[in-house]
Amino acid sequence: MIDNYTILTTFPYSSEAQITKSKLEAEGIRVMLLDEKTIDSDPLISQAIGGVKLLVYNDDAEAALKIYNRIRLYEKDNAGDAIVCPNCQSTKILIAELTRKNIFYMLFPFFEKTKFRCNVCNTIF
């Protein structure tokens, strides 16, 4: 049964996942949560097991992604203002997931400067 589902996103806590799940279900998307009860019983292991996974039915994945991109929260700067993409001027900015090649940053990732990715044009800055 789980082979028919794709992970749309993950959340550190089930409350955030429930809100997104409810919105997707209201739009007619078939949704399932994975590891929700495990994290509810011990929230400290959330990062260790990868958080609560929001799965959508494979046939609904494209529609679910469009809905999720419309309702998700985007990054803001320290003043609380929206970050703007230097390429397309969009404010739909996410933290970029990069693979670290420098051993120093692998051991101490908190020293690395945060990189952002535009959700519209995929520019990393």
d(CA 18, CA 24): 10
**Tokens read off for 58:** 């494979």
d(CA 16, CA 20): 7
pLDDT tens-digit series, residues 36-78: 999 999 988 888 888 999 999 999 999 999 999 888 878 888 8
**pLDDT at residue number 89:** 92
Nearest to 35 by CA among 54, 61, 60, 62: 54
12 phi/psi in degrees, rounded to 5: -70, -25
Distances in Å between the Cα of 79 and the Cα atoms of 75, 89, 101 are: 11, 18, 31
Length of the chain: 125
Nearest to 6 by CA among 43, 78, 50, 58: 58
Task: Select the more confidently predicted residue: 122 or 60.
Answer: 60
Report the range of poorest mean pLDDT among 6-10, 65-69, 97-101: 97-101
Q: Are 90 and 118 in contact (CB under 8 A)?
A: yes
